[in-house]
């Protein structure tokens, strides 16, 4: 099977695999090459896969979509982190979340400043109309 993991800005993974295990809203499932074709929504969690050299690798994913069609498995998510070991993956996820939290904080600060400026401008317009 060919496993492709697509992010908005790049193709994270495009490899031949023997098995894929993932988690949907109704529980975890496994895919083998002759598995029936289907589409499912993924929940945030761990996707594991076995490479053709029989090494198990792990992928932490945000919510997204998995499509199995023939010998192709395509996962499309907003964010994902690839790791060889769960321990390594855990530290990578923690680092990524810290970066996201910092970015969200900066975005919120910018939004608050814009809102305050908008209110100030409306108050100035109100003062001009009353004169």
Q: What is the pLDDT of residues 106-125, one digit of tens each?
A: 787 888 888 888 888 888 88
Q: What is the model's pLDDT at position 101?
A: 64
Q: What is the pLDDT of residues 23-73, one digit of tens each?
A: 999 999 999 999 999 999 999 888 999 999 999 999 988 889 999 999 999
CB contact set of 131 (below 8 Å; sequence gap of 6+): none
Q: Where would I find the H helices in the chain? A: 86-130
Q: Where are the domains of the chain?
A: 2-84
Q: Chain-wide mean pLDDT for the chain?
A: 86
DSSP string computed for 11-40: EEEEEEEEEEEEEETTEEEEE-TTSPPEEE
CATH H-level, domain 2-84: superfamily = F0F1 ATP synthase delta/epsilon subunit, N-terminal (2.60.15.10)
């Amino acid at each position: 099977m060919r496993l492709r993991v697509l992010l908005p800005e790049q193709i994270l993974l495009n490899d031949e695999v023997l098995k894929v295990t993932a988690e949907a809203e109704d529980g975890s499932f496994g895919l083998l090459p002759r598995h029936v074709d289907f589409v499912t929504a993924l929940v945030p969690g761990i996707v594991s896969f076995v490479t053709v050299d029989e090494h198990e690798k792990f992928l932490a994913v945000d919510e997204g979509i998995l499509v199995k069609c023939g010998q192709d498995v395509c996962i499309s998510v907003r964010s994902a982190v690839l790791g060889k070991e769960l321990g390594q993956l855990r530290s990578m996820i923690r680092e990524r979340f810290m970066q996201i939290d910092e970015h969200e904080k900066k975005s919120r600060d910018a939004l608050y400043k814009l809102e305050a400026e908008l209110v100030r401008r409306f108050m100035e317009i109100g003062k001009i109309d009353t004169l």
